[in-house]
Amino acid sequence: MVTWYRTMAVVLGILALTSGGAAAAQAGSHKSSLTAQDEAEIRQLSQRYAHALGLCQAEEYAKVFTADGFYSSSEFTGTVHREMYGPNGGKIPRSDMTRFVMSEPQCANAGTPKTPRDAPAAIVIRATPTGAAATIPLANGARYEDSYVKTPDGWRIKSREHVRAGQTAFSTRTK
């Protein structure tokens, strides 16, 4: 009889541990939620991006991205960008962002006034297992598809894909 009680105690203990582990794993999988502070910091990141790009501050522009982050476009429309990256879109790693920013028309032309750009107003941010993401509508039916991660230095853009109307993101194309 004592053996039966010991066996039941072991079985119940294992069940309790298994159930607790499953509950913890399930809770961990739902851990990807964002606080109001997270969302505010991500919106501020978008403002920093627009400000640095408009004022030709290439180093500040690069700082809003992770070290392995990138900007991509489904199509480059400017002459200089087409010469640099080709007409059919491309991916600009952080290591090439200074050249990219300084080739923007307001940066390349000495007489053009440099003014900060307006950050997009409609940013709907959603939690992801690795951080956050957003689809940001732009003029002419274009959009940004953003992926964000939280780093020791705060939220950063992992990828920002500029997708023009009627096109697919450069990184999702099959070759």
* Residues 74, 30: Cα–Cα separation, whole Å: 33
For residue 85, give both structure tokens: 């990256």
For residue 142, give both structure tokens: 């274009």
* Residues 135, 143: Cα–Cα separation, whole Å: 7
For 63, the 3-state DSSP assignment is helix
134 within 8 A of 124, measured Cβ to Cβ: yes
Q: CATH number for the 36-172 domain, one of 3.10.20.30, 3.10.450.50, 1.10.287.3510, 3.40.50.720?
A: 3.10.450.50
Read off the pLDDT of residues 73-117 as tens digits, 9 standing for 90 and up: 877 777 777 788 777 777 888 888 888 888 888 888 888 888 888
Read off the pLDDT of residues 31-68 as tens digits, 9 standing for 90 and up: 469 999 999 999 999 999 999 999 999 999 999 999 99
* Residues 100, 67: Cα–Cα separation, whole Å: 16
Model confidence, pTM: 0.74
